[in-house]
Structures are given as structure tokens and as C-alpha cells.
Amino acid sequence: ANRLSVTIKNADLFHRVVDSDRELQRAREVMSKVIPTTIPYIKGLDVGAEHIPYSNVGGDFYSIFKLDTERTGFLIADVSGHGLSASVIAAVMNTIISTYDKEILSSPSKFFTGLNHALNNKMAGNFVTAFYCVIDTEKNTILYSNAGHNHPLLLQNSTDNMIPLETKGKLIGVIPDLFFEENSMNFKTGDRLVLYTDGISEHSSEDRSKRYSEELISLSIRKSISKTTKEASAQIISDCVEYCNRPKFDDDVTLLVIDRK
């Protein structure tokens, strides 16, 4: 009887592991259609990206939208949770965004207003933070809105100032009829913009005595300014891991480094 009981328990455990593996595989397949496989050529810009999912799959993602020859939209988003539920929400967001016309994609405020309306009360306890901007290489500007996300950091070449792109905006999918503030900032030749998720800024040492921060990310951006965007994105993550002495992250990590050439 004991042997039979153990056999049944082992069989049950096996099926749970198989089901978990299947869910993980489905989640990977979903996210593979959301995360860009390559960075498109964008005249006047150089873009590097790093995406490290937690436990093979997570809810972080980014998207790039070429609006015309001068304007490009950049989205970075963080869906709460991990696994299939987070990846499905990311895929739903991607599907909603794919229906947007150029007018909505050109306005970060309209972009988030529409997304929040579409996702409100449909998140099953999840939520999304995100940042969306439109870079115009003819006007040398960044037009942006924030939905409860980490403030991106802009290092200006002419002044050597590090400027957080701050604007008011709440989480997506929680409160109906939200207004998302829209701001603009100059983005001139030699400037570098860094977008990131809180998997980096909230990373900590094993005993939690040391924690990474926006200030340390700023230092890393300055330290890696002579590197290419791809090298710089890898350097920022490397600096975070070295500071915390902990290579495994507790959350998804996504990072975009954008240079104005």
C-alpha cells in the first residue's frame, strides 16, 4: 500500500512538472512573438537592447515603431507577475497596439489612454507599468508619457547633465479614464537615452544589504558613454551584477540604450 501511495504521488508530481513545462513552453512561444528579434535600422539613431527574462519567461517587453523617416516610437513595459499569465497580457497589449494608427502612435498620451481603456478590468489582478516615447530626428526631440514606470535617463552631450524624463502617469489597467501627461525634451547629436525596467534598479545582494539604484545606473551610463549602445547596455547590466555580487536576477530585466547620431 505504501509503495502504491508513493507511486501515485510520483505520478502526480510528474504530471504537474509536465504541465508546468508545457505552460512554460507556451509562454516562451507567446513572448517570442512580442520581443523583437532584431533592431531595425533607424536613420539618425543607434539602438542597443538587452532582455533577460526571469526563469526563462516573464512579463517585460519592448517594441519599436517606425512612424516615418523622421519619427520612431519606443515602448518599454513591465507586466506584473511571471509565466504564462504575464506573457498573455503582453501579447494582448501587443495585439491592441497593432491596431493603432499613426495618429495614436504619434501621441504618447493617446497611446496610453487607449491602452488603459482597452485593458481596464481585464487584467485579472495584474497591472502594467510602461514608458512610451516618440523620437523625432528632424526636430531633435523626444515626446514622451509615463504609465507608472521607472523614469528613463537622458545624458546630454552638450551639458553633461543627466536628466530623468519625469512625467505624471498611473499604472495601466487599474483605474478607468486616466489622463497621461505628455512632455517633450531635446534630443541632440551625441545624447544618450536609457530606458530600463525595475529588474535592474531593484536588484540586490543575496542578503539584501546592497541594492542597485537609479543613481548607480546613472554612474554606469556615464562610465560606458564611449561604448556602442549594445556594449553599453551589456555594461550597465554587468555593473549591476558586480555591485550586488549576484548574477541571478529576481525579476525580468529589460534595457534600451538609444543614441542620437
The C-alpha cell at 261 is: 547620431
| pLDDT tens digits for range 29-64 | 666 677 888 999 999 999 999 998 876 667 899 999
Bigger pLDDT: 106 vs 33 = 106
R_g of the chain computed on alpha carbons = 20
Mean pLDDT, rounded, for 170-191:
95
Bigger pLDDT: 239 vs 204 = 239
| pLDDT tens digits for range 127-143 | 999 999 999 999 999 99
Task: Report the helix count and the strand count for the chain, using DSSP H and E.
Answer: 7, 10
Where exactly are the structural domains of the chain? 2-260
Q: What single string gives the DSSP state of each residue in 199-246?
A: HHHT-B-TTSS-B--HHHHHHHHHHTTTS-HHHHHHHHHHHHHHHHT-
Topology classification of domain 2-260 = Phosphatase 2c; domain 1 (3.60.40)
- In this prediction, residue 83 carries a pLDDT of 72
- In this prediction, residue 33 carries a pLDDT of 72
- Residue 63: strand, helix, or coil: strand
Whether residue 166 contacts residue 151, with contact meaning beta carbons closer than 8 Å, is answered with yes
What sections of 33-107 are H helices per DSSP?
83-98, 102-105
Longest distance between any two alpha carbons in the chain, whole Å: 78
For 44, counting Cβ atoms within 10 Å of its Cβ (0-12 exposed, 13-18 middle, 19+ buried), the class is middle
User: Could you tell me the pTM of the whole model?
Assistant: 0.88
Bigger pLDDT: 250 vs 194 = 194
